[in-house]
């Protein structure tokens, strides 16, 4: 029997929903490959508990914009996400340094055979190794140059994707998910009162659990 790959969308501290989803898909770290799309942390009720579940299930995660900003803040850089930093430090307590060290090992993307995971998306025509890290974790739309990555007047990056790999991404909760032959969006806005979604491969099945409450405004 072929190994299952479980890919989980943006968790954002929603640990109860994560536990529920892992139970629903019968996740087994001894048998399944369990991947996360980034943004495990911030906005939701308990980022530390999410990280503990992530470790318990031997998960692998790529870098989300919230993880990338955490690393910059830990290096003393000013960032618009600085409002989350003190809360994370308090939440993790004595485990904070260990957590930051763990996050620093997250790759910016994940590539295996005909599968690619990226948090935000792909700059049209470029491989992730040719791309600005912030573009990888924040892109939504493409202006042709990379100055504005979220204007609704520009096409979504996935409308311009012409590759053969299945690309799975997160980050864009307002989409409510996306399911195309070569592109799947997994951010279904759990922290905003939506769903937490898991993609099961190879059968390409999407499994969701509903948020227990609305934790943040979109």
* Domains of the chain, first to last: 5-210 (3.60.21.10)
Q: Are 160 and 141 in contact (CB under 8 A)?
A: no
pLDDT in tens, the chain (218 residues): 679 999 999 999 999 999 999 999 999 999 999 999 999 999 999 999 999 999 999 999 999 999 999 999 999 887 777 889 999 999 999 999 999 999 999 999 999 989 999 999 999 999 999 999 999 999 999 999 999 999 999 999 999 999 999 999 999 999 999 999 999 999 999 999 999 999 999 999 999 999 999 999 98
* pTM for the structure as a whole: 0.96
| Dist. CA 142–CA 124, nearest whole Å | 8
């Amino acid at each position: 029997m072929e190994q299952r790959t479980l890919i989980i969308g943006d968790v954002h501290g929603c640990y109860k929903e994560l536990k529920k989803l892992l139970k629903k898909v019968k996740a087994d770290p001894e048998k399944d490959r369990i991947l996360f799309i980034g943004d495990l942390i911030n906005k939701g009720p308990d980022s530390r508990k999410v990280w503990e579940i992530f470790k318990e299930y031997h998960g692998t995660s790529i870098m989300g914009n919230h993880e990338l900003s955490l690393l910059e803040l830990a290096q003393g850089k000013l960032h618009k996400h600085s409002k989350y930093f003190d809360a994370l430090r308090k939440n993790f307590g004595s485990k904070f340094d260990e957590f930051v060290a763990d996050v620093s090992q997250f790759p910016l993307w994940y590539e295996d055979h005909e599968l690619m995971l990226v948090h935000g998306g792909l700059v049209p025509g470029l491989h992730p190794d040719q791309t600005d890290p912030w573009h990888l974790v924040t892109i939504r739309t493409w202006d042709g140059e990379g100055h504005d990555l979220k204007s609704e007047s520009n096409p979504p990056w996935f409308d311009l994707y012409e590759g053969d790999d299945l690309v799975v991404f997160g980050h864009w909760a307002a989409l409510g998910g996306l399911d195309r032959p070569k592109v799947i969006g997994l951010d279904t806005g759990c922290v905003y009162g939506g769903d937490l979604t898991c993609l099961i491969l190879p059968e390409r099945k999407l499994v969701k659990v509903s948020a227990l409450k609305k934790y943040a405004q979109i």
